[in-house]
Amino acid sequence: MKFIHPAFWIGLALWLAGCAPIGSPSSGVAAGPTATPGSPLLGLKPEIAEEGPPVTPPPLPTPTLEPPPPDLPPAATDYTALGNQAYYSGELEVAEAYYLQAINQDAADVRPVLGLSQVYRARGEVDRAWTAIQRALEIAPNTASAYNLRGELSYELRNRLQALEDFSRAIELDPLLGLAYQNRALVQQELGAPEAAIVDLQVYLALAPQAADREAVEELLEILADQTRPFTADREGRLFADDFSEFTSGWINNPDPFGLASYNSGGYRINVPVADTVVWGTNRFWARDLRIEVDVRKLGGSDNNLIGVMCRYADINNFYVFVISSDGYYGVGKRVNGGALEPTAAGQLQFTREVRQGDVVNHMSVECFGSTLKLYVNHRLVLTVEDTDIPAGNVGLLAASYAVQGTDVLFDNFEIYETPRE
C-alpha cells in the first residue's frame, strides 16, 4: 500500500493570472516559468489530506463598530481622508480609528465603511471585512466600488461565481470602473472563458492606457489569444501531435538542476533529483474537452514514483492530474483554488496489474470531457470519475519522487484528440 508523503512543488508551468491577490495594490498578472517550493503534495496516496478553507463566504456576524479613541482631532476634521492617508501609509490601526470616528460622525456616509472593510481585509479579518462591505451596501446599495470590493473578497474566499456576479454588477453601475473589468477578466479566465477575459482586459487598457501593469496585461492577452486560437483536427480527429523533435512545439524547456523539464533524449524528459518533490511542465495547448495519448518510460530512480498527465491546467492553483507509478498504482488528483493536491472522488491511488512495472514503457490515455474524467493504462480503462471543479485549461506532464531521489521519466508520442475513445 502507498502512503501519503510530504513533497514540495517545483512548478515549471506558466502562471496565467491571479498570481498576486486580486485588487491589492500590487495585484496583476504574470507569465513565464516559475518555481514554488514549500507547498505540500497531499492526497495522491490513500490517505486524504485535511480540507482547505471554505469556498463560500462566512456567515455574517452581527456588525459591531467600536467607538474611536478619545484623542482624535475635532469633529470638523475629514476623518475619512485621514483614514485613507493612514491606510495607504500602512498604518492600519490609525486608519481604523479614523474610519470609525467618521462613521460615528455620519453613519450614512459609505466611504469610511468601505475604508474600514479594506483595513480588516488587509489584516486578514475576513468576517469583519465582509460585515463592513455588507454594511456599505445597506447604506448605498448602488455603489459600484462596494460591489467591486465584495467581488475581490469573494475571490479571495474562493467563491469565483459570487466574485463574477459582483464584478459584473460593479460594471453595470459604473461602466468606467476599469479595475472591475480587470478583476472580472481574471475570474473569466479561471472559469474557462478566455474570449470574455480578452474583451474585459481590452476595455481595462482602454480605460487606463497608462496603467502601471499594462505590459503584464498585454502578456496575458497574448496567452489568452493562444488559448482561443482554433486547432484543425485531421481525419482521425487529432488536434496536436508531438514527438518532441522540435524545441518550438510549446513546452517549457527548463534545465533546472532542482527539477529538469525539457526536450531531451528524444522526448520530453522530467528529472526529479530531490526527494519528496514533484516537477511538471506545461504546453500552451488549451481546451475544455480533449483526449491525450502519450507513451511514458521510467529512465531511472525508484519504482515508488509518480508519472502524470495534466489536463485543464488553468494555472498553478487549478488543474487535474492523472498518475501511474512504476510499482503499479494509478489515480486521479486535482488542485482547486490553491488548496492541497488531493484525490478526486473515487480517484485515490489503487494497485492494478495493467501498469507495467519497472523500467518499461507504459501508454497513458486521459480523457477530460465535460464532467467525466477517464484514465486508460495500456489501452485498458482503469478509472472513471465525475468532477466539475475545473472547466478548462492547458495540458502538462508531471513526475514526482518519494523518499528516494532521482525519479527520471521520458515522455514521447504525445497526441491530443477532439473525441473520446470509442
pLDDT of the residue at 358:
94
Same domain? For 324 and 402 the reply is yes
What are the start-end ranges of the H helices in 42-125? 79-88, 92-105, 110-122
Average pLDDT over residues 256-263: 78
116 vs 75: CA distance, rounded Å = 19
183 and 254 together in one domain = no
Q: Is residue 303 part of a domain?
A: yes
Rounded Cα distance between 96 and 120, Å, is 8
Query: Could you identify the residue written with the cell 475570474?
Result: 187
What pLDDT does residue 124 have?
92
Residue 63 lies in a domain: no
pLDDT (0 to 100) of residue 339: 82
**Pair 192, 328 in one domain:** no
Nearest by Cα to 31 from 49, 43, 41, 18: 18
Residues composing the chain: 422
Band of pLDDT at residue 185, cut at 50, 70 and 90: very high
pLDDT score recorded for residue 255: 66
Segment (H or E) for 2 = none
- Specify if 272 maps to a domain: yes
Could you report the per-residue pLDDT of 393-420, keeping only the tens digit for each? 889 999 999 889 899 999 999 999 999 9
- What is the predicted pLDDT for the residue at 48? 26
Are 104 and 163 members of one domain?
A: yes
> What are 322-349's pLDDT values in tens digits?
999 999 999 999 998 878 888 888 878 9
- Per-residue model confidence (pLDDT) at position 249: 83
Which stretch of 45-54, 188-197, 207-216, 375-384 has the lowest confidence by average pLDDT?
45-54
Residue range of the domain that includes 364: 8-45+233-417
Q: Same domain for 39 and 83?
A: no
Task: Give domain status of residue 274, yes or no.
Answer: yes
**106 in the same domain as 203:** yes
Question: Could you tell me which residue, 215 or 44, shows the higher pLDDT?
Answer: 215
Give the count of alpha carbons within 13 A of 241, CB side only. 7
Distant-in-sequence, close-in-space partners of 392: CB < 8 Å, separation ≥ 6 = 192, 286, 287, 288, 312, 314
Q: What's the CATH number where 374 sits? A: 2.60.120.560
Query: Measured between alpha carbons, how far is 331 from 44 in angstroms, rounded to an integer?
Result: 7
pLDDT at 74: 52
Residue at which a domain ends, from 228, 243, 272: 228
Task: For residue 68, tell me if it sits in a domain.
Answer: no
**Given pLDDT bands bounded at 50, 70 and 90, which one contains residue 381?**
very high
If we measure between CA atoms, which residue out of 23, 187, 29 comes closest to residue 118?
23
Q: Please write the tens of the pLDDT for every residue from 300-313.
A: 999 999 999 999 99
- Per-residue pLDDT of 43-90, as tens digits, reads 333 332 333 333 344 443 444 445 555 555 555 458 999 999 999 999
225 membership: H or E segment, kind and range: helix 214-228
Is residue 162 one of the residues assigned to a domain? Answer: yes
**Per-chain mean pLDDT for the chain:** 81
Q: For residue 3, is it within any domain?
A: no
Instruction: Cell numbers for 275, please give them.
Output: 526527494
Q: For position 54, what pLDDT does the model report?
A: 36
Answer yes or no: do 224 and 258 share one domain: no
Q: 219 and 251 share a domain? A: no
User: Is residue 260 domain-shared with residue 204, that is, in the same domain?
Assistant: no
Q: What is the pLDDT of residue 252?
A: 79
| pLDDT given for residue 341 in this prediction | 82
Give the residue with greater pLDDT, 40 vs 314: 314
Same domain, 264 and 177: no
Domain count, the chain: 2
Contact (Cβ atoms closer than 8 angstroms) between residue 270 and residue 1:
no
Strands 277-287, 8-12: pairing is: parallel
- pLDDT at position 20, please? 26
The DSSP letter of residue 398 is E
- Considering the domain architecture, whether residues 285 and 413 belong to the same structural domain is answered as yes
Q: Strand runs (DSSP E) across 36-171, as ranges?
A: none
Residue 114's CATH number? 1.25.40.10
On whether both 215 and 315 belong to a single domain, the answer is no
**Residue 12: how many CB atoms within 10 A of its CB?**
24
CA dist., res. 325 & res. 127, Å (int): 43
In a domain? residue 53? no
DSSP symbols for 348-381: S-EE-TTSPPSSSEEEEEEEEETTEEEEEETTEE
pTM: 0.58
Outline where DSSP puts E strands in 160-304.
238-242, 254-256, 259-264, 267-272, 277-287, 290-300
- 84-141 confidence digits (pLDDT tens): 999 999 999 999 999 999 999 899 999 999 999 999 999 999 999 999 999 999 999 9
Report the pLDDT value the prediction gives residue 24, as an integer from 0 to 100.
Answer: 27
CA distance 58 to 162: 13
CA–CA dist 163, 183 (Å, integer): 9
Q: Hey, is 41 helix, strand or coil?
A: coil
Which of 183, 199, 228 delimits the end of a domain?
228
- The band of 261, judged by pLDDT with boundaries at 50, 70 and 90, is confident
Among 228, 245, 260, which residue terminates a domain?
228
pLDDT at 41: 36
The arithmetic mean of pLDDT across residues 178-206, rounded, is 89
pLDDT at position 188 is 82
